[in-house]
Structure 1
Amino acid sequence: MIKIVATVMTISLVLANNFVPKRSTQGKEYIICGNNTQQKIYYATSSNFSKNHKGEKALDDDDTTSWVSAKGGEHWIEIDFGVKRVVTDIEITAGTKDNYNTINYCILQFMYDGKWFNHSRVNFKQKVKKGFLGSNTYQNTVRVKLNGIDASTFRIVIPQDAMIDGYAAIAEIAVYAGSAKLQYFDKRLYNLCFPVKNGLFPENDSGYPNAPRGYRGGIHYGLDIFYYYNEDNFLPIPVDENTPVLACADGVVVRADTDYVPPSEEEWKSLSHYYQKNPATFIKRSFGGRQIWIDHKNGVLSTYNHLSKIDSSIKVGSVVKKGQRIGWVGNSGLLGEAQGQKWGQHLHFELWVDGIYLGYNMSLVDIKRYLRWIFAIRDMEEF
């Protein structure tokens, strides 16, 4: 009898969880929230001035970029967490278009019973008492104290009379739970240096994290860089052993394979055959070849694989700066090197955050979106 009751209770809990009412996120875009998790924050806008001024610009932790609306009419940007969230403060930073302010005020709204209601008027243009006449001042960032609310969605509305020249722009929307600021993307990763100057993202999906690697019975943990672009005509150029590899950020070298010895073709094929049938429990001979690992002292570690050479200044313990040359592209650790050939040259680049590779348990679309944000590529259009 007890077993039956327990079973009924379990089924009831499952049904209850499955039937939790949720708002539809259809038609909304989203960003990945937190420390490289699968949590998504959805957003929608009334309009966008261009593909480079989408709502994501108000959620990128960069107040130099802005969501900008089309011209005319009332405009809004909506944020939807998808689940209940405790919120104590919302901080809104007004944006600019062509370096000019666009709005004098906005309205913060929340949804109740399926309808939006006005909560606060947020004034950026404020009157300051000065003598008898007073004067106006412009405050770019205003923090709205909410005194603790439960909410899953809110939006910022810019009425037509609040716009200075017909456009609405919001540079940043920050959400707080007490002293903790909601982290949209992981700020430790923002604006890293691409490890190959003018390097291009891979055209094939196989060059991204989580792609299968049959020759070694595993998956891909990083980003493969095969090309960079010519600054004169922007045509792609294949990387080779003369292409420098750059440190993505300041840090300390924790691995530098200065004594690397290439495998023979027979040894390489033997290792490949073994790893296709056995789990990799300890790597004595890595298919990553000659490598450099850099600890960025903030929970982020970057690795650079398949190098042809390591810069003579680099050794374990070396302090490196963002953009510093640390080595050159190659094909070490790959079959081409084992055969004495140069084919397959590229840089395999990995980011490990708090001990987990960037891309773990993420979809390819989200990985691509995140990488574009990391390397501060301003055009956030989908691949």
Structure 2
Amino acid sequence: MLRPLTEKRVRDALSTVLHPLTGGDIVASGAVEHIGIKDGNVTLILKTDPQAREVMEKAAKGCETAVSALSGVKSVRTVLTAHRPTGEADNRPPPAMGMKPPAPPPPERLEGVRTIIAVASGKGGVGKSTTAVNLACALKQRGLNVGVLDADIYGPSIPKMLGAGEKPGFTKNDRIEPAVRHGIRAISMGHLVPEDRATIWRGPMVIGAVQQLLKGVAWDIDGDLDVLVVDLPPGTGDAQLTLVQTVPIDGVVLVSTPQDIALIDARKAYDMFDQVGIPVLGMIENMSQFVCPDCGSKHDIFGHGGAVATAKEKGIEVLGEIPLAPVIMRRAETGTPIVLADPGSEIAARYGEIAGRIAEQIDA
């Protein structure tokens, strides 16, 4: 009888692999951050000090070999996330009194990606991810090669909104192959970690994960991307700063609902990008109005025009207004965004117009 493939069996196999820095095994050394098992496919997430990445890559190979030997295993893939062990000091000397610390290295272009656009909100629950996937689809309809990166490590939603499809694979040189849905290349922690598994990580782990999803993915596997759309999490924290410090961002699209409480955070998001010198392409007012599907009457559930007024206040373009329509949510939950599911609809046309305004600004 075939033994079931369990996390304990995987951990037991990993305990036979030595950690190159501690001399103990990988498990006892605390390097195993996560083990994901689905249909015989095993995903391992390993913590590593950024300065020891090369030797940890060799250890990761050993982990794959050990786990592959287990019955019931179809494939094994490892993901390394940058992490400095607790209590370990930075070896660099502190800056002298009155001197500024050394500047971080300048952002580097992603291989095979011509333009990067970030979609941000500052606040959760305003429909930013739904907007990001529909804009990606609308840009694809314009004949562009488009990718989507889900930078929300704690609450990834892109796999659900674009449809599950095939899991990402790995290239011969161990870069992650993006999942492809509706002709769009996508990557997310949701592709690597089971949907019902919480990601309980501190800041350094988030930083490492975002860098891995940016630079460790073969975005150019089927030709260069014209546009990579990055769906940012709410706030102005680790994920946002990692993005702007790792790769050059060509522009940001802000998404907000009309009410004041959402606009407060949208202004903060604008301020952050303004401080780091990244152009804001414009603002989208999402959930702008509710149009009754039965009688056609319009209702300002969250107010109306607040995001438009804020955009004018900041001197940025109003890219468009998207109504509060249940069909947008339903289409996203089925894995086929409304731009593709109902291309002839008024809502799809609005997304198309916004995509056109963005494409003009980035010369795409």
* TM-score, structure 1 normalization: 0.27
* TM-score, structure 2 normalization: 0.28
Which has the bigger relative contact order, CA under 8 A and spacing at least 6?
Answer: 2
Which structure dedicates a bigger proportion of its chain to helix?
2
Which structure dedicates a bigger proportion of its chain to strand?
1
